[in-house]
Structure 1
Amino acid sequence: MTEDFKRPNPDELLARLQSEEAHAKRGKLKIFLGYVAGVGKTYAMLEAAHERRDEGVDVVVGYVETHGRKETEGLLSGLEVIPRHETEYRGIRLTEMDLDAVIERHPQIVLVDELAHTNNPGSRHPKRYQDVEEILNAGIDVYSTVNIQHLESLSDVVQQITGVSVREKIPDRVIDEADEIELIDLPTDELLKRLKDGKVYISDQAMRALQKFFREGNLTALRELSLRRAADRVDSQMLSYMQRKAIAGPWPAGDRILVCISSHPMGERLIRSGRRLADELNAEWYVLFVETPQHLHMPVENRIRVQRFLNLAEELGAKVDSVSGNSVAETVLNFAREHNVTKIVAGKPLRSRWYELLRGSVIDQIIRNSGTIDVHVVSDVAPTIPMEKPKKELTYKALWRYGLSILLLIGVTVFGKIIFRFLDPTNLIMVYLLAVVISAVYLGRGPAILASVISVLVFDFFFINPIFSFTVNDTQYLLTFFGLLIVGLIISNSAALLRDQVNALRNKERQAQVFLTLSHELTGAVSLDQVVEIATRSISSILDSKSVILLPEKGNLVSKFSSEGLSLDENELAMAEWSYKHAQSAGQGTDTLPAAAMRFVPLRTTHGSIGVIGIKPDGTGNTLTSEKRMILEGLSHFIAQAVERVNLVDAATQSEMLRNTEKLQSALLNSISHELRTPLASITGVLTSLGESEKSPKLSRRLDTRTKIELLDSATDQARQLNLLVENLLNMTRLEAGSVRLNIGLCDLQDLVGSVVQQFTTRLMDHPLDLEIPDDLPIINCDAIFIAQVISNLLDNACKYSPSGSPITIGVTRKPEDIEIFIRDQGIGIPESELGKVFSKFYRGSQHNNTTGTGLGLSICKGIVEAHGGWIRAEKNPDQGMTFRFSLPCKIGQEGRNE
């Protein structure tokens, strides 16, 4: 076999691989498609289920309706049936498929009959196909059945064929996205015979069906529809295969179809016509609604109708868009050219010739300027719901504007009377036109039209002979009056249109400004609380809604921030949980609990759902328009990125802290293993020697009393060093954990220094000690134990790094605001380049490699002194050695006590 091979586009290949990966995690849907009830769809589904069960596949029945047919009931035997869920509605017990039980049971295949079925009130989803989608998302394969008349795009065709309006419908995308479709076909003669034999309905129902829906002509037409739909499905599979394998085909560039809708009730017919045309041409299709400045005053009922049309288009698989423009025809054609549209589908409502002459025809403008784009016109032949007219009520503010317009004309008339004798009457027309312009710009369309009409009457009454009469002697003035009226009306209408355009631009500018502000604020937010607060405030401002953001915490969704007065009940929390777990929108205007007052949108990232936004629209209608829904989707992605960024920063911070902790633990273990071993070995050696001397008289005579005292002093000194090491470790742990709490009290520095020096008596025997402590030192407030620890660490350093016989000085200096304490030695010192590191954890000078120590002492000193509100620094002596100096405030306030 030879195929014209073409290397696939890398981007397309990546997108296909990602799609296949996502599809692999989802369950497979097989639909048994028939053209009418009784052709054997359920029977064929049950037979297929038995075949799979015999192959060892786990198959259960989620919901099967036998309609009392014995053959079908017989096939149910041997299959596990999930018990149905019972609910009560208006005193009646109703049963429905138990969706949660099916998902919990998690078989390999579940049978769900009657895909187009409408669920009982109170169910999680209004339609059964939505239950099936949730089962598929759980990774369970589904076998289901449906008749051709239940497809949304064919409902009006079926109604024309059969005269019956089909209420239970499914979106065409359900068929399009099915993994396998098996057409269950039966010749019409055999079906009619089965019907007469009572194998489809009982006798009375069968007779009624034969007389109405099951007429031979109806069945033939429905059978043709099902065969065509199945053929289209096979054709689309073939095209998909060729595209997937990059096989060059003979097809030209595909058509693109654009369906234009308005608030007119014929929108549904336009959308279904567009869907059928797209199916016939295998074309991509769009549905577009153009919002002009006049739509700012659209009644709520019409807005709801437009939203319903857009929802229907989405269900039928269209790409939906809503754009703003001053001219509908111009905006439609610009959109068509930008998206390479080849065919436009538009409607032509039944309107009078006068209406089109005065207002113009959008469809005529589109045809006139369409160029090479084909235009398909759908006429309004079916009876439609009359259009809602805006109900205008004159408020006090509106009456005041009309009153101002009349006052303006009175002023112009008085002014005209004053200058009348200096001007020709026709020149006064400009003054009245000025009044009309002022009314149009500042008071609105209505007052401007009133000013146009009244200005003609006033001009005639007060300035045209005969004065104070509406009679006109010179007929030429009639043309003047007519011109004044027409110009006034044009000016008032143009000014009002300009005002609407300005208002629309202001709304867009306000939204853009809020988006820009949101971007800047989210970029500057450093904590999760800041992000959710900024996001909630911005959502409420942009969408005129109350909002809440919920994020996962310990396995449950928790409200992090919400608009004032908004609280969630149990049902709304359950909706939010569902939206979070399934990464799908739920609530108002969705397929899941669409009648709810709130809408929940997941915060989706590449790693899945990380939270949920909840919206409760304010104002009349309490519904989210298509434009606001698109804005909300954009905001959700924007906010999700900000939340993920903060989470990643927090995770990186935690990871860095963990690495530092592990480093600290490793360094401590390495250091402690030696530092603990040395004093413990010395103490153990002393105790062993003393113990053996007591047991052996010969050895006891060799260890005189003086030697024993020296050994005990050595052990005591090693124990003190060990105690100092343990204290340092404990203090470092507290400092790292931020749990150091100072026990502030009165302290005499002379006594404190003396007690520390006494502990170092043995080690200071090789170092002359100088004390420079004035007698008039004040009593200070400090934690005596911690300050003693600081002095001990500094004195220990001085002893370690000073040569034997060199002096050590401990001094105290009184300053106006604080007390300075210093320890000076004559040791080897610290290089200038390392002075900045001396108080870092684990710092040990490059010249001190032969000296024991953990490198924690100075770091602990810094933490303790700063906790007291003081400072500490290391200074090189002019001649030799180092001076460590730290300060303590003379009085420590409450802040120091609570650290």
Structure 2
Amino acid sequence: MSPCRLRGVYAGHVSFYAPFSKSQLTCFVPGTRRTWWRRGNVVCRLLNRLVMNICGVQWIQRLSDRIEAEPEEWRLQFAYVAAIAVPLLCAFGASPLLAFLDQANIAMLFLLSVVIVAVFFGRGPAIVSTIVSVAAFDFGFVPPRFSFGVSDLQYLVTFAVMSVVGLLIAQLTSRLRFEANLSASRESESRALYEFARDLSGALQTEQIVDVSLAVISRTFDVHGLILLPDADGRLREAPCSSVQASGAPRLGVMDLGLAQWSYDHAKPAGIGADFMPSSEQAFIPLVSPMRTRGVLVLRPVSANGTQTLRQSSQVRSFAALVAIALERQHYIDVAQEVTVHMESERLRNSLLSALSHDIRTPLTSLVGLSESLTRSKPPLAPHQMELALALNEGAMRMTDLTSTILEMARIQSGKVQLNLQWQYLEEVVGSALRACKPALERHVVHTNLASDLPLVQFDAVLVERVLCNLVENAAKYTPTGSHITIAAQVAFDFLEVDVRDSGPGFPKGREDEVFGKFVRGDPESALPGVGLGLSMCRAIIEAHRGTICASNLGHGGARVLFTLPLGTPPFVPEAEDALEVQGVLDV
């Protein structure tokens, strides 16, 4: 049987162990764990036999089991027994000294016993010790002795003073003891938090953070732990961890997963010690970081002590906050690494495209010139030869346009293009863009809805016209014959909003932002010509103007692309001219 100790007894008091293996009895003297009698000593054997004969081994066995099962109750009982025993021992010790000491000095000895009880056992036992001390002093040292009678009423004042002083000593000593214990507890908590934060600072991956967190929390609070992290859809999944931590992790049922999801969605604790579902066998603590909730910490107590800790301790929340901060730090490290890799890949891709485009531009120019010469040769080519020459010229022109687009986009994104910013009206650029796209709009209906009070805006007319041409041509390319295309513009706060929409099938759902990537098409399997650089070029031009561009689908069907240009402060115009309202229907 394992030793069962009366907990709460400090150094300097008797610690009693009662293991009975092979009829052995081991006793410990005050303030030490070393045995008083050696095993095999004649005195020890005689004492063992005497104890077994008087009390019986079974009775001692039951007493030991009861102490082990209810340590708190036995510690409290021992404290009050000591509170009664200490004044009585003081009375027996002071009786032989009555001839040498005055009654006032003996009263001081009883007050000293009250102080000792208050220091080691607290306020309640100290109050009991005060009452016993006054009674023992009256019974053994105040005439007539060995009775509670009083021959002189002045002793009543002495008893009252002893009681008040004893109670004050009990209160002050208890408060001092409480504050000392509180300070020690706070120091222990601060040290544990510091060591935990230091361990987390060295974790460089999510798995390491989870392993360190579960190991420390399980060891500190006597619990089994599990960390759940959200996926891309916000559903909680078990975080990756080492096999050691996974072996002790609590197993979650459907109800437990539902509680964990509720705790994550509402950023509130659930289960043990919480207002929501306190009857659960586990505690669900959300990992709330400064920006968002990073997951849920699930704790299952191993013992009753762990359950009590989860219900009362705020230190668990402090540990959870450190875990959340560590997870958020790791998240931003991953984001920074992804952004760095993306930027580097974009830079390398732009450099490669720029180099390739520049190298193939010269032979393409020669190819265009030769194909045009073939179509204009004298005498004329045969019909089938002319058809081949025209196809060659058309392909060469398409490759030349693509090469120019790639070069221009690479220059814009690298910041090497100087924008020709001029103050001008948007209506003029819209009109020139529609004229340039006239062949592509032959089978569509174009509407313009430009506000009559549009101000002057500073932008590069050539590049913004390129943006409008790309958007209108895309709308015409991906919509059926006879569909409507609308160009609208209005002022919104400090920006000019330009809206191009159509009545076609719209963008693929959920990919509205992806269509602005390089070489990305709405329908990768489409037979329509194009390489997916038009919208990417539009974004590069608009962002160079410090504007924004976005794509969306209309509720009734169709696609919409909206871009903005900053208004700024236009120059003063001496004679204001009425701007023409370009609004109507243009059937090309």
Q: TM-score range by the shorter chain?
A: 0.3 to 0.5
TM-score, normalised to structure 2's length? Answer: 0.39
TM-score, normalised to structure 1's length? Answer: 0.28
